Chains A and B, each alone.
Chain A
Amino acid sequence: MNPPILCSLRNGETAVCSQESGVSFEQFRTLLGKGIEAGHRLSALFVVPDDSFDGARLVAVLARPMSGDLQMIGCAVGSSYPALTPGIPAAHWFEREIFEQWGIRPEGHPWLKPIRFQPPRSRSGGRPSLLLPTVGVTEFFRVEGEDVHEVAVGPVHAGVIEPGHFRFQCHGETVYHLEISLGYQHRGIERAVGEGNSPRMRHYIETLAGDSTIGHATAYCRVLEGLAGVRPSPRAEAVRMIAAELERLANHIGDLGAMAGDVGFLPAASYCGRIRGDVLNLTAELCGNRFGRGLIVPGGTGFDLDQTLESELKRRLDDIEADALSAIEQLFETPSVLARFDGVGEVSESLARQIGLVGVAGRASGLPCDVRSEFPYGFYQFVHVPVCTWGTGDCLARALVRRMEIQQSFAAIRALLQSLPADRSPPAVMTLAPRRWVASLTEGWRGEICHVAATDDEGQLAFYKVVDPSFHNWFGLACAMRDQLISDFPLCNKSFNLSYCGHDL
């Protein structure tokens, strides 16, 4: 199941395994560097163990928005290779992951520390040079001096949120540096998923990040469908899109409410929190689960809409839209709120491009990155959702992008409900083609979700790689906090609202 040396694929298309060992590392590096320079994104960078020689293959998936395709590049590496991060900061987190998982050392990586505190993989190409450390204990970057104090937040946070460790270097209220250390949520999903077709697969994927169930499940199903050469019915695709947009709506509305709560603006906080629940209840009407579990299944959807449900959805959506828009309007019309959002946690466009931000955070910094329009998949090929960007990259921008996307999502769902395709074919049976590679991108509500998979000679899944948008964006949050006030961190954090479990896998 060696990855292809160099090929370009459409989103969800498969490629045949190659027999060669790949391009040279120099070529690999040049291709990557040039690609990034030309405005492509590093969607995934990972290592595939290779039995054919004593080493492993380094594979990169470059998303190329200009040509609308994905480029897969593979090259052979030994137990170490010159790090890519110094030239391509977007590779920073990926290379740390590679080192942690496989013990393959990117020489000259500036910050080679564990990211998940997970045990090294047994079939590692190189020697597992990492002794398993205590979680969260690593060499944090320090601002030296007796005046400086550190603030260590987490893993158990004050709010009802997931665990993660944040280490601030502060003087007074000013944050000089923030380093984020995750891994507390590491459950080993990626590895479990990569070990063949278990009946639990779909459930693993659905709980990879509970709030992005639809996004990840869609990416997963598209991987399988690509490998099996199955196309779901248009109606199923439309239902998937409705579910995806509902997920986006619920989370964006909830995030705006949470941001309002963080700045102590109670009306919007309470209204949005409630409305988010109403949107989730719509998803529950679709499939019985508020997060959409069981809705997206390989080959189609687990549930369909009937006439009454359709009209029920329409009716309730209208109510929700009126409530949501009035609550959000109130949020953005309150000067004290705007003053609080404005200028907090800025990420400039160039920085965002450099570290490869995706999703809401990327769009708020002015990057037009949106898989739905760059690499359209499913029903997004027929119903276009405009890309909403804002240029300032601060909390206000992230809130504004959410507001625009909420409006667009309402419009998109309504359009879909108006004209649902009629054909209802049940999900097809899946038979995966052997020795194939596939990369599937979807736009979850947080941003680009990338799943890459490969089958072995028997047509069993032999490799599975998940990249959650949070994986790209956590470093952006750390950068956004430089020279900010520490009291603004919760707001800034909420404005990114990244997933811990999606990152930790």
Chain B
Amino acid sequence: MGAILAFAAAGTVAWSGRPMVIPIPWAIPFGSLSFGVDRLSAFFLFPIAMVGGLGAVYAGGYLRRSSGVQAPRFFWFFYSIFFAFLLLVVTARNGLLFLMAWEGRSLASFFLVMVEHREPTVRSAGWTYLIAAHLGTACLLALFILLGDRNPTQDFEGFGVSGREGIRSLLFLLALIGFGVKAGMVPWHVWLPEAHPAAPSPVSAVMSGVMIKTGIYGLLRIMMFLGEPTLWPAWWGWTLVGLGALSGVGGVLLALAQKDLKRLLAYSSVENIGVISLGLGLWLCGVRVGNPAMAALGLWGALLHVWNHAVFKSLLFMSAGAVAHATGTRSLDRLGGLIHGMPFTSLAFFAGSVSLCGLPPFNGFISELLLYGSALAGILQPEGLRRIPVLAVGALGLMGGLALACFATAFGIGFLGQARSEEAAQAHEVSFLIAVPMGVAAVVCLGIGLMSPLAVAFTSFAAFDLMPILPGVIRVGGWEIPALFQRILVANVALCVMLVVLMAARRILLLHRRVEESSTWDCGYAAPTARMQYTASSFIWDILAMARVLRPRVKECRPLGLFPRSARLGTEEQDIFQRLFYNRLWRGIERCSDRLRRLQEGRNQIYVLYLALTVLALLLWKLGFSQ
């Protein structure tokens, strides 16, 4: 627990040091490794410290009662390391150090995922995660080698424009893939829904809340080295918007298909990463076409969303963990009715859901509004690249609707209605230690929503290195940003006031009337059961039916004949990317390895032959080369 306080302190230090760029050179035996906190780092440090701290408090309560985690010490050890490396990643000012921190964090989180390693699904999730992390790191390695081409120290200060557009584009692509894997962007997201649910809930909260954001951090950091922003080619922007839209819509559609609460949350992280990259894409487009409003709002929206997502996603993971803890199941179709047994957790999950859906007056709304503002600015410009913001608006609108559907399922099926299983009916409220971090996170969610002008100001400050522009300068439709957000603040407050007024009005109107209790209207049927409620799968089935390829596989045994004996139906969600791409890839690799295995005949003569052939080939190559 001591560690937590230290981390929180570190966060606070970063916070107070935010106005200045403070490079702190710090010599470490093998070279010039240095730390530093600039505005961007500070911006990322803060949620890391906060979520990490909350996660630790939560873990304190979680581990006390959980029988799932066999080795609390093991957990704490890796949690601390993980946390330290997370901080290191955003404070490292040197390529090598950065990579080491990056790798160390991956390993630590791998061990955390594997905490409950007795379960085979957890083991396979852990390995998937490790492989994905290393494939990403491979790209990063190449990236840093290229970046540090003329910079033997690998210090960030030395990185810089490496001239030609081709090289820069290559760097951009490498960064996009390398960091994209970590962030969980769509084609490379497959590890994420495996690893996050497998980890203990405090770890999922940190992983989903902040760890994947380091991918965004990395990408932004690298963007700083890619030269004059106005020279960036337009396709970077498109690519990011496209990837963002793909991740967003794809992620939320896949999230919809989930019946496991934590997997659902994991996929929704993919969606939120999509939102963030969409914002970054709008930024790039805005920069390219010289539309400062579009660029700034896009970047700020993306950055603010990093924060917001960190808070509400950790909140959601913590409440999901509390549910799993209390009921022993994460399957939505076995939950239900939790709002009676776990009122606080339900409220927390509700707050998280509203934030995640981007609904006023919570924080998600503010960042999404910034992105919409950016797109609006893009559409209203007289010419150039107007189709991109249209795509962005369409995608954001669709994501909003889908996220709403998704969290209506998660909260509505999981927490409301009648308990669908005995476990859910017996659910009990969480302990104080678990409740506190959830409460804090929920308050922060609402706080950011209600203090939107401040949040925007802060975000713009954090983005100053990337985009030296201040809110007061940006105008959308003749409005300055601070004035705009004051108006939004007023609207949000008005909404809250109206809610309170209406609630009071309802109370007063009911004061002298008869209010009675009864059962839900069941058409007068004698024996209603909990099965007569929509299931999660039924609730979203026809939405998924519209997106045919993403539809889960149905395993059914239909009622046949006039008097069917038995019938069964189940669905099995499947990740389209996994199915269409990765599974084929793995099968291909397997097939290749199979072929290679044929070389291993186990006979000495053959191996001798191989040796001879190799030597021969080497000789030939050497000869050819020297000539």
The reply, when asked whether chain A contacts chain B directly with Cβ atoms under 8 A, is: yes
Binding site for B on A (CB under 8 A): 85, 89, 92, 110-111, 134-137, 141-157, 163, 165, 169-174, 176-177, 354-355, 475, 479, 482
Q: Which B residues between 540 and 562 are near A, CB-CB below 8 angstroms? A: 541-542, 545, 558-559, 562
- Cα(A74)–Cα(B539), bound, Å: 53
Closest to B555 in A: A145
Closest Cβ of chain B to A179, distance in Å, is 10
Cβ-defined contact, B568 with A145, below 8 A: yes
Nearest 3 Cβ contacts at the A-B interface: A172-B541, A110-B563, A147-B537
Closest to A172 in B: B541
A145 in complex: contacting residue of B559, B563, B570, CB < 8 Å:
B570
A residues within 8 A CB of B566?
Answer: 144
Cβ-defined contact, B537 with A171, below 8 A: yes
- Cα(A172)–Cα(B559), bound, Å: 16
Closest to B572 in A: A147
A143 in complex: contacting residue of B333, B559, B563, B571, CB < 8 Å:
B559
A-B pairs with beta carbons under 8 Å apart, 27 shown: A85-B563, A89-B562, A89-B563, A92-B562, A110-B563, A137-B526, A143-B568, A144-B567, A144-B568, A146-B334, A147-B537, A148-B535, A149-B538, A152-B523, A152-B528, A156-B524, A165-B525, A169-B567, A171-B537, A171-B571, A172-B541, A172-B545, A176-B567, A177-B567, A355-B562, A475-B562, A482-B559
Closest to A177 in B: B559
Closest to A475 in B: B562
A residues within 8 A CB of B569?
Answer: 143-145, 147-148, 171, 176
B residues within 8 A CB of A146?
Answer: 259, 331, 333-334, 535, 537, 570
Closest Cβ of chain B to A264, distance in Å, is 20
Cβ-defined contact, A173 with B542, below 8 A: yes
B residues within 8 A CB of A170?
Answer: 538
A134 in complex: contacting residue of B527, B532, B541, CB < 8 Å:
B527
- Cα(A147)–Cα(B534), bound, Å: 9
Chain A CB within 8 A of B601 CB: no
- Cα(A134)–Cα(B259), bound, Å: 35
A150 in complex: contacting residue of B334, B531, B558, CB < 8 Å:
B531
With contact pairs A145-B569, A147-B538 given, residues A154 and B525 touching in the complex (Cβ less than 8 Å): yes
Closest to B533 in A: A149
Closest to A170 in B: B538
- Cα(A134)–Cα(B537), bound, Å: 32
Chain A CB within 8 A of B564 CB: yes
A residues within 8 A CB of B626?
Answer: none
Cβ-defined contact, B333 with A147, below 8 A: yes
Cβ-defined contact, A157 with B567, below 8 A: no
- Cα(A354)–Cα(B563), bound, Å: 13
Cβ-defined contact, B525 with A152, below 8 A: yes
A residues within 8 A CB of B334?
Answer: 146
Cβ-defined contact, B523 with A155, below 8 A: yes
A residues within 8 A CB of B524?
Answer: 154-156, 163
Cβ-defined contact, A136 with B526, below 8 A: yes
- Cα(A149)–Cα(B413), bound, Å: 12
- Cα(A172)–Cα(B535), bound, Å: 9
Cβ-defined contact, A134 with B562, below 8 A: no
Closest to A89 in B: B562
Closest to B527 in A: A137
- Chain B interface size band reads 20 to 34
Closest Cβ of chain A to B525, distance in Å, is 5
Number of A-B contacts (CB under 8 A): 106
Closest to A154 in B: B523
Closest Cβ of chain B to A348, distance in Å, is 12
B residues within 8 A CB of A163?
Answer: 524
A residues within 8 A CB of B526?
Answer: 134-137
A residues within 8 A CB of B533?
Answer: 149
Q: Which B residues between 241 and 262 are near A, CB-CB below 8 angstroms? A: 259
Closest to A134 in B: B526
Chain A CB within 8 A of B228 CB: no
- Cα(A89)–Cα(B561), bound, Å: 11
Chain A CB within 8 A of B529 CB: yes
Binding site for A on B (CB under 8 A): 259, 331, 333-334, 522-529, 531-535, 537-538, 541-542, 545, 558-559, 562-571
Cβ-defined contact, A354 with B525, below 8 A: no
A residues within 8 A CB of B565?
Answer: 110
Cβ-defined contact, B538 with A141, below 8 A: no
- Cα(A144)–Cα(B558), bound, Å: 10
Closest Cβ of chain A to B171, distance in Å, is 47
B residues within 8 A CB of A154?
Answer: 523-525
- Cα(A171)–Cα(B333), bound, Å: 13
Closest to B543 in A: A172
A residues within 8 A CB of B562?
Answer: 89, 92, 354-355, 475, 479
Closest to B524 in A: A156
- Cα(A293)–Cα(B464), bound, Å: 89
A residues within 8 A CB of B567?
Answer: 141-144, 169, 176-177
B residues within 8 A CB of A173?
Answer: 541-542
B559 in complex: contacting residue of A136, A141, A153, A355, CB < 8 Å:
A141
Closest to B562 in A: A89
B residues within 8 A CB of A176?
Answer: 558-559, 567, 569
B532 in complex: contacting residue of A135, A143, A150, CB < 8 Å:
A150
Closest to B535 in A: A149
Cβ-defined contact, A150 with B529, below 8 A: yes
Sample of 15 more A-B contacts, CB < 8 Å, known A156-B523, A354-B562, A482-B559? A85-B563, A89-B562, A141-B564, A143-B567, A144-B568, A146-B570, A148-B569, A149-B531, A150-B529, A151-B532, A152-B525, A153-B523, A157-B523, A172-B545, A475-B562
A residues within 8 A CB of B531?
Answer: 148-150
- Cα(A421)–Cα(B322), bound, Å: 85
Closest Cβ of chain B to A443, distance in Å, is 26
- Cα(A148)–Cα(B556), bound, Å: 11
- Cα(A134)–Cα(B565), bound, Å: 24
Closest Cβ of chain B to A142, distance in Å, is 8
- Cα(A146)–Cα(B564), bound, Å: 19
- Cα(A174)–Cα(B563), bound, Å: 19
- For A92, A146, A151, the residue with the greatest tally of chain B CB atoms inside 10 Å of its CB is A146
A residues within 8 A CB of B542?
Answer: 172-173
B residues within 8 A CB of A152?
Answer: 522-523, 525, 528, 532
A residues within 8 A CB of B538?
Answer: 147-149, 170-172
A residues within 8 A CB of B559?
Answer: 141, 143, 169, 176-177, 482
B residues within 8 A CB of A148?
Answer: 531, 535, 538, 569
Closest to A144 in B: B568
Cβ-defined contact, B563 with A111, below 8 A: yes
Closest Cβ of chain A to B622, distance in Å, is 64
- For B522, B523, B542, the residue with the greatest tally of chain A CB atoms inside 10 Å of its CB is B523
Closest to A111 in B: B563
Closest Cβ of chain B to A418, distance in Å, is 47
- Cα(A479)–Cα(B559), bound, Å: 11
A residues within 8 A CB of B545?
Answer: 172
- Cα(A146)–Cα(B562), bound, Å: 24
- For A110, A172, A173, the residue with the greatest tally of chain B CB atoms inside 10 Å of its CB is A172
Closest Cβ of chain A to B544, distance in Å, is 9
Closest to B552 in A: A147
Closest to A174 in B: B541
- Cα(A144)–Cα(B564), bound, Å: 12
- Cα(A320)–Cα(B567), bound, Å: 50
Closest to A137 in B: B527
Closest Cβ of chain B to A53, distance in Å, is 32
Closest Cβ of chain A to B266, distance in Å, is 20
Closest Cβ of chain B to A195, distance in Å, is 30
- Cα(A136)–Cα(B524), bound, Å: 10
Closest to A165 in B: B525
A149 in complex: contacting residue of B525, B534, B571, CB < 8 Å:
B534
- For B333, B528, B541, B569, the residue with the greatest tally of chain A CB atoms inside 10 Å of its CB is B569
Closest Cβ of chain A to B561, distance in Å, is 9
Cβ-defined contact, B532 with A149, below 8 A: yes
- Cα(A150)–Cα(B523), bound, Å: 14
B residues within 8 A CB of A89?
Answer: 562-563
B570 in complex: contacting residue of A147, A153, A177, A354, CB < 8 Å:
A147
- Cα(A116)–Cα(B14), bound, Å: 76
